Structures are given as structure tokens and as C-alpha cells.
A and B are shown apart, each in its own frame.
Chain A
Amino acid sequence: MSNEATLHSHHEVTHGAAAHDHGNGHDEHHHEDSFISKYVFSMDHKMIAKQFLITGIIWAIVGAGFSVLFRLQLAFPDSTFPFLESILGHWAKGGRITPEAYYALVTMHGTILVFFVLTAGLSGTFSNLLIPLQVGARDMASPFMNMLSYWFFFMASVVMTCSLFVQTGPASGGWTSYPPLSALGDASIGSKIGMDLWLTSMALFVVSQLLGGLNYISTILNMRTKGMSMTKLPLTIWSFFFTAILGVLSFPVLLSGFILLLFDRHAGTSFYLSELFVAGKALSNEGGSAILYQHLFWFLGHPEVYIIILPAMGMVSEVLAINSRKPIFGYLAMIGSLFAIAILAFLVWAHHMFVTGLNPFLGAFFVLLTLLIAVPSAIKVFNWLTTIWKGSIRFTPGALFSIGFVSTFISGGLTGIWLGNSSIDIHLHDTYFVIAHFHIVMGVSAFFGMFAGIYHWFPKLYGRYLNGTLGYIHFWITLVGAYCIFWPMHYEGMAGMPRRYYDYSNWESFKQFAELNKFISIVVFIVFATQLLFVFNFFYSIFKGRKLTTTNPWDATTLEWTTPIHPGHGNWPGEIPEVHRWAYDYSKDGKDFIPQTVPLGPDETAH
């Protein structure tokens, strides 16, 4: 009941038309939603979550498909594949990807996966789905802004898609878009209109993230149901909370960097440009600093990796506790470490810039702060392991992906300690070691967290289960495949093999890796095909999956499972349940689990 007052009071002021949608959940189906308002311009957080998820899946296929294409080039630099010409046209004349196309593919692979899939697709989906359901709210603080958040993301997607099809191709200066390559249209063909579209798309994306983030924070802080104190929240909500704070505080800084870049591109300013020659011609720009952009970019860029990984951490904590039938180990330590990571995220950006001529004395502080992140990360790993320790584990696909997440987070995180040291970084920067590190720790791990979330909450999204057998196949091939892809890259990187090269066969020192590159690429093709299997499972199960017969399929304690199998807009048909206990009462007092809505017994104390 407690949210209803807020919902009503803000309906009359903002969008009166939608008011009858949420406030009175008692008679939620008294009106017919039109197709447009239900499936397209929906203000229901659950539908918006599905929109984010499906858009994210489409982008994931495109982004990962790009990696398949450039891995084809890396594995077989001398061969030609006529089918490439038929899909890429003049970008693959004679069946061999051109160098320009290779850079475009690499750049778009990074941009799409970091921003569109692992930011929008991951936190967009699950923050939208779980925040109102798990805190006990009928919808977001502002459903309208929430809808705008998706549609800004959609517009960003449209603009980015357009950039793929322009004559000079999409942006190709790397996903970080460093100037001067990104600031001078004449610098490369990917720096022309493709770069402008990239910047436009990213600006729209930032707006989408800000609108979403504002909503997530204000919903978590203001719209919790009666009894749901902050320390009774599931860890998923805490992780979405810190993710949103990171986004809201760091994306604007990225935007400021982009604005200066746009001025450099089109208004003749020299924020990032100084004393440059392009094609033998001296430019008049003077007094700019390309490093300035790197500061602004990485001030977002580093928090961004936590924006990607924190939601995965939260979901994994939840899925592991449920499937171990044990309370999460160290609930407060989990929140504390999320908090510590969120703070440190803002203080370590320069570790991406150790070799830019950064003062080594200053670098020492960034090394220290970077290595400090190992402490909260280790706390989290320890707590996940102790959560499943001696649990009665149910190996559902969601649980397996969660365990897989812990595994990849450890093995990818440890190499972070190497790279965080400025002296080792001198050798390892811009090599495949870096590629291996961040792909395992934020790429694969975040995907595993996302898969865990999808397998676990699919019943809530669609009222059906995903196919388990396909899920197990998906998990094992992906886990083994991911390690087969990225472990050898550490080895290549330590040998000094640089990233972003088109063809290594001309280098005496890197020729020796030709067979290894072939091996990696073949695994990539297999893993990619397995992801398509998952996509098939996903869409097939929406329509034909095994139907849910109970509202609480995993015997979980949290509020989302107290809603009907197909909750309407407003989530609970009656009053919003009141919360009496924390979210992790598993295997307590001889009971398998006690939902959050059950009042404390006479001999119980609040957790």
C-alpha cells in the first residue's frame, strides 16, 4: 500500500493518461491495452525489460558475428572466402576482408558489446525487471522516463546501424575513439561520417543511460514496500543501485569529452589537436592535447567496466544463494565490497594511461588504488565460494552459469593484478594479454552473469522455462570454449603480440602463433554457433517452452515470486505484500526457505 500514495500523487501531475494503468492494480484488466501501448510504447517496466533484452540479444548476435569475421581474417590471413564478398561487398573484395573493414569490425565489436549489449542489454534488462518486483513497487518512479530510456537506446541503435551502411563505413578508430584519429575526418575513411554517427549514437545512448539510472536510483530509494528496509534488499538490488550511481556520475563526463570532440571535428577548435600533419599537409590546430580526451574517456571508461560487472555480481549472488539453499555468506560484506568497488572505480582511470607519458610518481598512486580493488573483489569471491560450500546445490543452468561466473571472474581478475602494476604494464600494454584479461573478467563473466539471470528469471519474464538440456550444452561449450579462446591469448600477449593488427604473418616473432590463432578462431566459431543455439532456445521457449505451474519455481524468498505467473501492469493484483525479513532465509529452523513476506516467529529476531 505504501507506494500507492506516491504513484497516485505523481500521476495527476505528469501523465494523467497513464494513471489508471498502475495505481489500482485491483482491477488492472478493466481496460484493453492497444497493441502499441502494450508492446511498443509500453510504460510497464516488465515489457521495457523485455525490449531491452531482445534488442540486446540482436546486438549481441551482430557484435559477436563481427568477431567471427575478424577472427576468420586472423586465422587464415592468406586465404580468401568468396562468401565474405557476398555479405560485405567491397569491404571484402575477392573474399578477403580489407584492412579498413577489419578495423571497422574490431571497433564496432567493442562498441556494440561494451555499450549496447553489456550495459543496455544487461543492466537495462534486469534493473527494469527486478527493481520494482524485488523492492515491492508497482512500477518505476517515473514509468514515462523509463520508456524514454528504452527509446533513446533504440534511437542510438538505429543511428549506429545506419553507420554500418554508409559509403565510408562505420567508425574504425577503436571503441575508445581516441583523437586525433577520431577528430580528423581526413585521418582515415572510418573517421568520416561513420565517426559522426558513432558520436551521435553514443550521445543518445548516454541520455538513455541517464534517464534509466535516475529512475533506478529513485525507485530503490523511494518506492520500497512497507518493511523493506535497505538491509532487507536482495543483493541484486544493491548491485543495480551502485551500477546506476556509477552510470549517472560517469556518463556525463564521457558526454563532455564527446562534446569537445565534436567541436574539434566541426568547429575548428583545438581541444585535442596540436601540430599535426595529415597526408603531408600541416594543420593549423595548435595547443590541444590528445591525452586530455583519454582522461575524460577513461573517467567513464573505468567505471563502465564496473557498470558491466556489478549487475552480474548481484544476480550471481542471488542465484547462488537460491540454488545452494543457503543464505548468502556475508551479506553486509557483499554490500560493503560493492560500495568499495563503486568508490574505487572513480579513482583508478589513469591505469589505462600508464604509457601515455603519465608522471610515474602519479602512476604509483594509481597502481596502489588499482591493486586495492583486489580486496573487495576477493571478499566477493570468498563469499560466493562459502555460499555454495556444503550447500545442497541444485545444478540448474542458472546455477551453473553463476559458478562459471565465479570461475572466470577469478581467472580474469588475477591477471588484472599484473596489468595494474605500471612496470609490468609497460611490457603488456596493447598486447593480447590485455585482450585476454578484459575479455575474461568483464566480457565472459558479465555474459555468464547475464545468462544466469536469463535462465533464472525467464519464468518470470515469459511464464515458461528455458529448455534445460540446451542450457547445459550451452553452458559447457561456452565455459570450455571461452577458456580455450582466451587462455592462449595470455601466452601470445606475454610474447609481445600486439592487439589490433590485421596480419601477423610478416613478423618473424609472431609467425609462430599462426597455428594457435587458427585454433582460437575455430573455437570462436564453435562458441558462436552455441550462442545461436541459446538464441534459438530463448525464442522457442517464449512460445513453446514448458509452462510454469507454480508462482515460485525455484523456491525463492524474494518478492518477484509472490506475483502471479503472468503479472499485469501493477505487478500484484491485490495489495503490495509487506516485508518482514531479509531475502536469504534458506534452510532455516528446519524449513527449506521462508519468503520475505512471512512475519517473524515469536522466537525469531530480525536479521
Chain B
Amino acid sequence: MQAMSVQRKKIHPHKYSLWIAMGSITMMFIGFTSAYVVKRAQANWQVFDLPHIFWMSTAVILISSGTIQLAVKQFKQRNMQRYKQLITLTAALGVVFAACQCLGFSQLSQRGLPLSGPVSASFIYVIVGMHMLHVLGGVVALLIMFARAYRTRVRVYSAVPIEVASLYWHFVDVLWIYLLVFLSIAR
């Protein structure tokens, strides 16, 4: 038992794996943004304003980070009803976020900046689109958590899955803030 209690203090392997995975995802976006920087330094770089709706989606994803944090808290206090409501809300906010990004895409393309337009616009579609996919991946994870919370046969008392999910959610949130700041400054 001594050994087990020592082990408990260690970070859970799944959380650990998630940290490494976050490093890995970060590297992919570093790849994209470095490509952006290299390309921007070359000729024919067209400058334009980002769609304003991106600020709205920022607010949405910030709120959703708050709701998932509350969900973790409710889970630990075993308020399963509130917990289910909060993860549903978070997942819904994730979908709203994705919808806002898609609206942003259509605004861009209405302004004469389609995906196949100037490279500076193509980059927005690809970078924001890839990030959106990562948010939707988080939504899928939350749906699985939701289904699990309704299982009656197996009860889950470990907070690790929801902690892992919330860590990932905060990560895509922070990643979005980075991308937004990056795309706003490096135009």
C-alpha cells in the first residue's frame, strides 16, 4: 500500500499523455504559423482585416472554458445533474464556436477573399479551420463523457476523464487566443 500511495501522487499517465499531445498539436500550429511568417516576408502579400465575428467566437470559447471548469467542480462534488448540464452547455458552446468560425469564413469569401484567393486569406481558412477541427474533437469527447454519465450499470467515480477533457478544452481555448493574437498582429 505504501507503494500505491506514493504512486497516487504522481501525475496520471493519461494526463501526462495529454500534455505531450498538446505539445505535439502546438508543433503543428507552429508549423502553420511559421509557414505564414515565411510567406509573409515574401512578395505579393495581401493585407486585410479579420472577420469581426472572430471576436465573438473568442468570447464564446472563453465562456465555455469557464463552464467546463465548473463541470469538473460539480463532478467532484458528485452533483451529477449539474455536471451533465454543464458539459452539455460546454459542448453546445463548442458547436456555437465552430458555427461562428464558419460564419467568419463566409464573410471572408463574400469580401472577395475565397479559400483559393490570395495566400494570406488561404492561410486564415487553413489555420482557423484546423483549430476548429480540434475544438470539434473536444466536443466529441464531451459527448462521450455525457453518454457515460447516463450509464447506470457502471458508475464512474474517477475524475480523471473529465479533468483530461477540461485540460484539453482549456488548451484549445489558449491555442485560439494565440492564433487570434498572431493573426491580428502578423498581418
Task: Please determine whether B21 and A214 come into contact, CB atoms closer than 8 angstroms.
Answer: yes
Contact A269 B3 (CB under 8 A): no
What is the bound-complex CA distance between A249 and B7, given in angstroms?
Answer: 28
The B contact surface, by secondary structure, is helix
**Cβ–Cβ < 8 Å partners of B42 in chain A:** 287, 289
A267 to B119, CA, bound (A): 12
Q: A210-B21, A215-B17, A252-B27 are contacts. A222–B11 as well, Cβ < 8 Å? A: yes
- In the docked arrangement, what's the CA distance between A292 and B25, Å? 20
Segment at the interface with A among B28-36, B81-89, B166-174? B28-36
Q: Which of A248, A271, A289 contacts B20 (CB 8 A)?
A: A248
B17 touches A141 (CB 8 A): yes
The answer to whether the Cβ of A82 comes within 8 Å of any Cβ in the partner chain is no
| Cβ-defined partner of B24 (8 Å) among A142, A210, A286 | A210
Judge whether B35 and A292 touch: CB under 8 Å.
Answer: yes
**Chain B positions 1-59 with a Cβ under 8 Å from a chain A Cβ:** 3-4, 6-8, 10-14, 16-17, 20-21, 23-25, 27-32, 34-35, 38-39, 42-45
Kindly state whether residue A486 has any CB partner on chain B within 8 Å: no
Q: Is the CB of A268 within 8 A of B116?
A: yes
A6–B24 contact, CB under 8 A? Answer: no
Q: How far is the CB of A347 from chain B (nearest CB, A)?
A: 14
How many Cβ-Cβ contacts under 8 Å join chain A to chain B? 140
Contact: B17 with A142, CB < 8 Å? yes
B143 within 8 A of A: no
CA distance A251 to B27 in the complex (A): 9
Contacting residue for A9 out of B12, B31, B115, B122, CB 8 A: B12
Complex CA–CA separation, A268 to B109 (angstroms): 14
Binding-face segment, B69-77, B98-106, B156-164, B179-187: B156-164
Given contacts A13-B156, A289-B39, 10 further A-B contacts (CB under 8 A): A5-B4, A9-B158, A10-B160, A13-B14, A13-B161, A215-B17, A255-B31, A256-B35, A263-B122, A287-B119
Q: Decide yes or no whether B112 CB sits under 8 A from chain A.
A: no
Please indicate the chain B residues that have their CB under 8 angstroms from the CB of A248 in the complex.
Answer: 20, 23-24, 27
Tell me the bound Cα distance from A12 to B21 in angstroms.
22
Report the separation of the CA atoms of residues A40 and B56 in the bound assembly, to the nearest whole angstrom: 48
Do A6 and B12 have beta carbons less than 8 Å apart?
Answer: yes
Neighbouring B residues of A13 by C-beta, 8 Å = 14, 156, 158, 160-161
Task: Assess the B115–A288 pair: CB atoms within 8 A.
Answer: no
30 A-B pairs within 8 Å (CB atoms) are namely: A2-B3, A2-B6, A2-B7, A4-B4, A5-B4, A6-B10, A6-B13, A13-B156, A13-B160, A14-B14, A14-B161, A141-B13, A141-B14, A142-B13, A142-B17, A210-B21, A219-B13, A223-B13, A249-B23, A252-B28, A253-B31, A257-B35, A259-B130, A268-B115, A286-B44, A289-B38, A292-B39, A295-B34, A295-B35, A296-B31
